[in-house]
Amino acid sequence: MRRDSIFYKLFKQFPGLLFELVDQPPPQAADYQFESVEVKETAFRIDGVFLPPANAVSQVVFFAEVQFQKDEDLYHRFFSELFLFLYRHSIRYDDWFGVLIFPSPSLEPSNLTIHRALLESGQVRRVYLDELGDLRQQPLGLGLMLLTNVTAETEAVEGARFLLEQARQQSEQAIIDLVTTIIVYKFSNLSREEIETMLGLNLEEPRAIVEAKEQGREEGKIEGERAIVLRLLNRRIGNLPDAVVSQIQGLSVEQLEALGDALLDFSTLADLEGWLEGK
């Protein structure tokens, strides 16, 4: 399930949702603009940057990172991206705050020592979805976040039906579309009719399901290509360091295909690292 795209849609549709996770939201939280920002010099991409309105008294920029897999380099990357962004926009902003969203504490990097000053500074909030409680007790937006983290089939369906009913009562069509998309990701083997029956929906326009199915097929292609490349690399070079595997997991399908061709000429780990540096 591609959760980063779900959270992108969530934040794009409801930018104020991030501030429900922040103890002291800015006075003009409702006017913040959400963007996904690429830092050109190193091809870093920050999951979410929440930009304050131009007339805000305090120009505080918020950074969000959604992490659903173990990545020991997460904090190295997150803070590097964050401070490089601030360096490039130093005149515009006068403060920052970071929010990192994990499904559970177990997926946080193991060694926090090197970043302890930042993590304990009061400018960073780490959110663990499995500690927020029952999705039925949360606002709709937070309920959607929690639904992405539900693994049990029965619980996912019951949670989705609850959110759909609440969305109907509040006439929130965007919430209905997002709930449908999340369930399609979770049950990608089911047909549209089966999804409709499961959720009690009568969809006149299957756009959410069609888009999610298409994206699911593309993600399946990427995962298959990545698995083949990693298997071939392990045969030619041996076990790969976690940092190198993490880099490969971030490659696009086109880059993976190029790596699949190039790896035939590799004989050492240095060959692979050199290729990754020049990609």
Q: What percent of the chain has pLDDT over 70?
A: 86
Domain ranges, ordered by start, for the chain:
1-131, 227-278
What's the whole-model pTM score?
Answer: 0.59
> Rounded distance, CA 201 to CA 164, Å?
9
pLDDT in tens, 194-224: 877 888 776 544 455 455 555 555 555 667 7
Question: What's the mean pLDDT in 244-271?
Answer: 81
Span 236-260, mean pLDDT?
82
**Cα separation of the two ends of the chain:** 26
Average pLDDT over residues 93-111: 93
Give the relative orientation of helices 153-169 and 173-186 as an angle to the nearest 10 degrees: 170
Burial 91-103 (b: 16+ CB within 10 A, else e): eeeeebbbbbbbb
How many CB atoms sit inside 10 A of residue 2's CB?
15
Higher pLDDT, 94 or 40: 94
DSSP three-state, residue 38 = strand
When the pLDDT of each residue in the chain is averaged and rounded to a whole number, the result is: 82
| CATH placement of domain 1-131 | 3.40.1350
pLDDT at residue 45, rounded to an integer: 65
Q: Which alpha helices (H) appear in the chain, and where do they start and end?
A: 3-13, 74-88, 116-119, 140-148, 153-169, 173-186, 192-199, 207-237, 242-249, 253-262, 269-278
Please indicate whether residue 106 or residue 1 has the higher confidence score (pLDDT): 106
pLDDT higher than threshold 60 for residue 230 = yes
Structure letter (DSSP) for residue 111: -
Nearest Cα to Cα of residue 63 among 43, 86, 40, 42: 86
Contact at 8 Å (CB) between 63 and 97? Answer: yes
